[in-house]
């Protein structure tokens, strides 16, 4: 079964969630895509030593909420979770 959407929003951060809401309010069908997973309370680190619960580095079996992106001249720590 193929679904067709009027708009696809990448990420539900502030800009994405507000855009999706405004479009839906106007009657458009909207798909919001997220990266990462839905986190439960027990998924969050209890100390700094639990880096695998902080960082999103699947190759190292770390599935936390923060991803590191290294760009030209800057390193960015940003969210990688649902919601």
> What count of other Cβ atoms lies within 10 Å of the Cβ of residue 23?
16
Residue 38's contacts (CB-CB under 8 Å, 6 or more residues apart) are 81, 82, 83
pLDDT at 83 over 70: no
pTM for the full predicted model: 0.62
Cα(58)–Cα(72) distance, rounded to whole angstroms?
23
| Averaged pLDDT for residues 38-43 | 81
Task: Give the pLDDT of residue 6.
Answer: 98
Task: Give the pLDDT of residue 58.
Answer: 84
Task: Give the pLDDT of residue 18.
Answer: 94
């Amino acid at each position: 079964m193929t679904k067709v959407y009027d708009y696809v929003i990448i990420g539900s951060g502030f800009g994405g969630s507000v855009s999706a809401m405004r479009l839906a309010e106007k009657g458009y069908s909207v798909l919001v895509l997220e990266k990462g997973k839905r986190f439960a309370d027990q998924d969050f680190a209890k100390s700094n030593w639990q880096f695998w619960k902080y960082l999103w580095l699947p190759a190292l079996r770390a599935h936390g909420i923060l991803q590191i992106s290294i760009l030209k001249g800057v390193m960015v720590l940003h969210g990688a979770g649902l919601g």
